[in-house]
Amino acid sequence: MKKSVLFLASIVISVLAFSQSSKDAKMHQFVNGLLTKMTLEEKLGQLNLPASSDFVTGAVSSSDIAEKVKAGKVGGVFNIRSVTKIKELQEFAVKNTRLHIPLLFGMDVIHGYRTIFPIPLGMSATWDMSLIEKSARIAASEASADGIQWTFSPMVDLTRDPRWGRTSEGNGEDAFLSSAIAKAMVHGYQGDDLSAPNTIMSCVKHYALYGAAEGGRDYNTTDMSRVSMYNNYFPPYKAAVEAGVGSVMVSFNEIDGVPASGNKWLVDDVLRKQWKFNGFVVSDYTGIPEMMNHGIGDFQTVNARALNAGVDMDMVGEGFLTTLKKSMQEGKVTLAQINKACERILIAKYELGLFDDPYRYCNEKRSAAEVFTDKNRADAREIASQSFVLLKNNNNLLPIAKGKKIALVGPLANAKENMTGTWSVGADNTQSITLLKGLTNGVGTFGKVSYAKGANLDDDLELEKRQTMFGKEIPRDGRTPEQLLQEALAVSADADVIVAALGEGAESSGESASRSNLDLPASQQKLLKALIATGKPVVLVLFNGRPLTLTWEDANVPAILDVWFAGSEAGDAIADALLGKVNPSGKLSMSFPQNVGQIPLYYNHKNTGRPLGKWFSKFQSNYIDVSNDPLYPFGYGLSYTNYEYGPVQVSSTQLKGNQKLSASVTVKNTGKFPGKEVVQLYIRDIVGTETRPVQELKGFQKIALAVGESKKIDFEITPELLKYYNGDLKYIWEAGEFEIMIGPNSRDVKKVKVNWEK
Ligand code: BGC
C-alpha cells in the first residue's frame, strides 16, 4: 500500500514537473520570439521605469510619459493611484506601440494598499507569520483590483540603528525573524500563481545593507565585514529569493566602495550565482545617476556599470534609455547583456499574464467591490491590535475598566492623517479611525471621553512640518503652549484616568527622516510631565516609527502601550487594547536604548575580551554614565495576564552528528486574562574557532493560553540551526558546547547546556 502511494506520488510529481517545464518552454519560445522582433531602442525602452506624477517619492519626477510610451521607450510606470488611469495608459501602450507590449504597473504597496495595516516595524512586533502573510494577501488583492501588478515590498533591511528613519519600514534587528517575515510577505503577495488576477509580483529591497548607513543618516555609506553581511544582513534578502520573489531592488548605499547600483559582486556573484536568483533587478529611484555623486564616473559610465553589474531596470534615471546604445557601440556593454535584461522583464510580464490579457488587473468592478471592504478593515483592525507592545503596566492600570471617565490628551489623539504612518501611498487618510473616534466608539454609553490636544506635535514649526509632510499634517493649534496645557489640565481634572496620545508624526520616520535625538519632542514632554503631576493615573499611548529613548517615561509613567502607526483602523484597534477587548501580545523586534549614545545596541552582540558587566566596572567594556542594558530588550512585551515559564528540558545533553535535539518548556497562564505569548528560543555557541554572538534567535512560537492553561512548547534543533558563515564564508557548524535558552524575551531566558559532537 505504502509503495503504491509513493509510486503514485512520484507520477504526480513527474507530471507536474513535465507540465511546468513545457509551460517554461512555451514562455521562453514566446519571449525569445518577441525579442527577435524588437529593435535595440525598443529593448532599451523595456528597461526604463519612469515615475508617475501622481505621487512623487523621490527628488525628481519623470516627464512626457505618454510621449515616451508611444515611442516604445517605457517598460513600466509606478505609483499611479487609479484603475481607470492605469487602464487608459495600458490601452494607450498596447494600441500605440509597434509590438503592443503591455506596461508593468508598480507601486509602493508597503503595509497595505487602501486598507492600511501597521507600519512594517509594527507588523514585525506581531511575530505572527500567518497574520503577516494575510496582510500581504489583502494588500495584493486590493492593489491588483486597482491595476497594480508589482509592489516594492517587502523591505527587509536589517538595522541596529533607530536613528535611521527607515527603521519603520523594516523588521528590526534580527536576521532570523526578518527572514521568516520576508518569506511570509512574498507568499502573501505572490500566492502560488503570479498570473492570478488577485496576486502581484513582489520586489524585495533594498539590496543590500541599506540599514547599516553610518550614523543612521539616510543614504549614507556602509562599511562592514563580509562575515557580518553573510550572517546578519544578507539572510532576509536570501529568504525572499528562496521564497521565489520575482524582483529585487538594489540600494542607494555603497558596499566596499562600490554603490549597490553598480556592484557586480553584489548583484551578479552573490544574488544571481550564489543564491540562484533568476528574476529581474531594478535600481532604486535615480540610484543609477546618483553613482556620479558617489564619484565613480559620468552619466555614460555609471549606466554602463549598472548594466554590467546585473541591474536590468532603471528607475527614473532614464540613462539606460539614453546611454546604452553608445556604450554598446564603444564595446563597454554587449547586446547580449541588453537582451538578457530585456528578456528578464518580458518574462516577468509573461508570468504576470500580461501578454494573455494586458487588462487582467484593471477590473473596475473588482476595484469598486474589493477595495477597503468591511471585511478587510475588520482584518486590519485585528492585525493592528496584535502589533501593540505593552511596555509597562504598573498595578494593572490597563485595561481601563468599564464606566471610567477618560481624558484623552495629546497631538496624536485626533490626528486622522497620521494613523497610517509613513509609506501609505494608496491610502485615503480621510477614512482613518482616530483614537478619539475609536475610544468614543469603544466606551459607548458606559463611559465618557473628553479630549484636549494639550500640545502641538512640536513647538518648532519647521520641525513639525518635516514630520507631517505628504499630507500627514496635524493642523497646528495657534494657541500658546501654556493655553493648550491649561485646557488639557482642565479636561483631565474631572477624569478617572488620563490617556496621553503622544509620540512622533507619521513622517518623523520613513525615507530621509533620520533623527539625532530620539526623545519625545519637548512640547510633548512638558505636557506629559504636567499630566503626571496631577497625580492621576496616566497611560502613555505611544505613536512611533522607531525605538525611542523613553528613560524618563519608563521611570515616571505607570502604563505605556506602544502602538506604532497602526493603519487605517488604528483608533478602533487601540481602543480594543486599552479597554481590554484584546490583550496585547506584541513583542519588540528591536531593542529600545536608554539613550542615543548607546547606539548601535542590539541583543545578539559579541562578548568581547572584557565582557559587559551589569554596571560600571573599570577596564570592562562599559560606559561611565549609563549601563549597558537596553531600556527594553529585543523580544520584550508584557500582557494583561502573567505567564510562568518552567525549566528548559532537553531530550539529551550529549548529541552527535545529525541527531535532533528537542528543547521544551511549559508555559502557564497564571493571570486573569486569556492571552497570546511569543515563546522564544535562543542559542549560543559557547566556544569555537571564531567568536559567536552571546545569543541568537533560532525559533519562536506564538501560542494562545486560556486562564489557568498550560502548554508544553517544543523546539526541534538540528545542526542546521547551529550553522554560520566563518571567516572563509563557509557555512559550517563546529562541535562543542551550546547554550539553549528559552524565554519570553531575549533577557529573561532560562538556560541549559548541551554538548554536540560531530
Ligand atoms: C525608495 C524606495 C521606493 C522607491 C519608489 C525610493 O526613494 O528608496 O523604497 O520603493 O523610491 O517609490
Q: What is the pLDDT of residues 682-706, one digit of tens each?
A: 999 999 999 999 999 999 999 999 9
Which is nearest to 155 in space by CA: 181, 133, 135? 181
CATH number of 2-367: 3.20.20.300
Residue of 218, 282, 285 with the most ligand 1 atoms within 8 Å of its CB, for mutation? 285
Which residues have C-beta within 8 Å of that of residue 332, sequence separation ≥ 6?
304, 308
- For residues 14 and 313, the model is more confident at 313
For residue 12, the model assigns a pLDDT of 59
Atom of ligand 1 nearest to the CA of 251: 8
Neighbouring-strand partners of residue 392: 560
- Report residue 380 as a C-alpha cell: 486590519
Return d(Cα 685, Cα 298) in angstroms, integer: 48
108-141 as b/e: b if 16+ CB within 10 A:
bbbbbbbbbbbbbbbbbbbbbbebbbbbbbbbbb
CB 713 within 8 A of CB 644: no
Predicted confidence at residue 612, as pLDDT, reads 78
- Residues pairing with 661 in the sheet: 717
Rg (CA), the chain: 27
- Which of ligand 1's atoms lies nearest the C-alpha of 152? 10
Query: Please, what CATH class does the domain formed by 643-757 belong to?
Result: mainly beta
Separation of alpha carbons 281 and 271, rounded Å: 10
The one-letter amino acid at 495: A
- Do you find a cis peptide bond into 102, omega within 30 degrees of 0? no
Ligand 1 centroid from CA 142, angstroms: 20
* pLDDT tens digits along 660-684: 999 999 999 999 999 999 999 999 9
Evaluate whether 2-367 and 643-757 have a shared fold. Answer: no
Q: Which residue has the cell 492600511?
A: 116
Which protein residue has the closest C-alpha to ligand 1 atom 8? 284
Helix (H, G, I), strand (E, B) or coil at 277: coil
Task: Locate 318 and state its grid cell.
Answer: 532614464
| Cell numbers given for 236 | 532576509
- Of the pLDDT bands very low, low, confident and very high (cuts 50, 70, 90), residue 17 is low
Estimate the share of the chain in helix, then strand, then coil, as percent rounded to the nearest 5.
Answer: 35, 20, 45
Q: How far is CA 25 from the centre of its chain?
A: 36
Distance from the alpha carbon of residue 276 to the mean position of ligand 1, in angstroms: 25
Which residue type, as a one-letter code, is found at position 376?
Answer: N
The CA distance from 382 to 231, in Å, is 34
CB contact at 8 A, 577 and 139 = no
Residue 169 CB less than 6 A away from ligand 1:
no
List of residues 6+ apart from 55 with CB closer than 8 A: 79, 81, 425
How far out from the chain centre does Cα 570 lie?
Answer: 18
pLDDT reported for residue 1: 47
C-beta of residue 125 within 8 angstroms of C-beta of residue 136: no
Mutating to test ligand 1, I would choose from 284, 313, 314 the residue with most ligand atoms within 8 A of its C-beta, which is: 284
Q: Does the Cβ of 157 fall within 6 Å of ligand 1?
A: no
Does the pLDDT of residue 181 top 60, yes or no? yes
Going by alpha carbons, the residue nearest to atom 2 of ligand 1 is: 284
- Rounded CA-CA distance 586/675 in Å is 11
Q: Separation of 67 CA from ligand 1 center, angstroms?
A: 24
Annotated domain spans of the chain? 2-367, 370-598, 643-757
Mutation test residue for ligand 1: of 55, 57, 62, the one with most atoms within 8 Å of CB: 57
61 CB less than 6 Å from ligand 1? no
Using the structure block, give the residue that is written with the C-alpha cell 505572527: 128
Question: Where do runs of H (alpha helix) occur along 260-334?
Answer: 264, 290-294, 299-309, 319-329
Nearest CA residue ID for atom 12, ligand 1: 57
Whose CA is closest to 279, among 358, 349, 191?
349
* Residue 56, pLDDT above cutoff 70: no
- Ligand 1 mean position, distance from CA 467 (Å): 18
Position 611 scores a pLDDT of: 87
Q: Which amino acid is at 399?
A: P
Burial classification of residue 257, based on how many CB atoms lie within 10 Å of its CB (0-12 exposed, 13-18 middle, 19 or more buried):
exposed
CA distance 386 to 582: 8
Q: Give the span between the Cα atoms of 664 and 681, in whole angstroms.
A: 9
pLDDT at 198 > cutoff 80: yes
Q: Which helix (H) or strand (E) segment is 676 a member of?
A: strand 675-685
Residue nearest to atom 10 of ligand 1 (CA): 152
Q: How many residues does the chain have?
A: 758
Percent of the chain residues topping a pLDDT of 90? 93
Does residue 117's CB lie within 6 angstroms of at least one atom of ligand 1? no
Q: In the predicted model, is pLDDT for residue 409 greater than 60?
A: yes
714 is an active site residue? no
DSSP codes, 107-136: E---SBSSSB---HHHHHTT--HHHHHHHH
Query: Residue 522 pLDDT > 70, yes or no?
Result: yes
Q: What is the pLDDT of residue 60?
A: 60
* pLDDT-above-70 percentage for the chain: 96
Mean predicted lDDT score pLDDT of the chain = 96
User: Can you give the pLDDT at residue 597?
Assistant: 98
pTM score, whole prediction:
0.97
Q: Are 305 and 347 in contact (CB under 8 A)?
A: no
pLDDT at site 446: 82
Distance separating alpha carbons of residues 125 and 727, to the nearest angstrom? 32
Strands (E), 551-627: 559-562
CATH topology of domain 370-598: Rossmann fold (3.40.50)
- Taking residues 436-450, what's their average pLDDT? 94
Give 59-84 pLDDT, tens digit per residue: 666 778 888 999 999 999 999 999 99
Residues 6+ apart with CB under 8 A from 459: 481, 521, 522, 523
- Within 8 A by CB and 6+ apart from 259, the residues are 252, 253, 287, 290, 291, 294, 296
- What is the per-residue pLDDT across 466-489, written as a single tens digit (0 to 9) for each? 999 989 999 899 999 999 999 999
Pairing mode of beta strands 104-107, 76-78:
parallel
> What is the Cα 415 distance to its own chain's centre?
23
Q: Is the CB of 218 under 6 A from ligand 1?
A: no
Q: What's the CA gap between 287 and 291, in Å, rounded?
A: 7
50 CA to centre of ligand 1 in angstroms: 12
Does ligand 1 come within 6 angstroms of the Cβ of 152? yes
- Ligand 1 within 6 A of 290 CB? no
| Residue 490 vs residues 101, 502, 517: alpha-carbon distances, Å | 65, 18, 31
Q: Is 318 in the pocket of ligand 1 (CB under 6 A)?
A: no
CA atoms within 13 A on the CB side of 83: 21
Average pLDDT value for residue range 331-335: 98
Alpha carbon distance 230, 514 (integer Å)? 26
How many angstroms separate the CA atoms of 575 and 581, rounded?
8
- The pLDDT of 145-154, averaged and rounded, is 97
Cβ–Cβ under 8 Å, residues 48 and 314: yes
Atom of ligand 1 nearest to the CA of 206: 9
Catalytic residue among 157, 174, 284, 458: 284
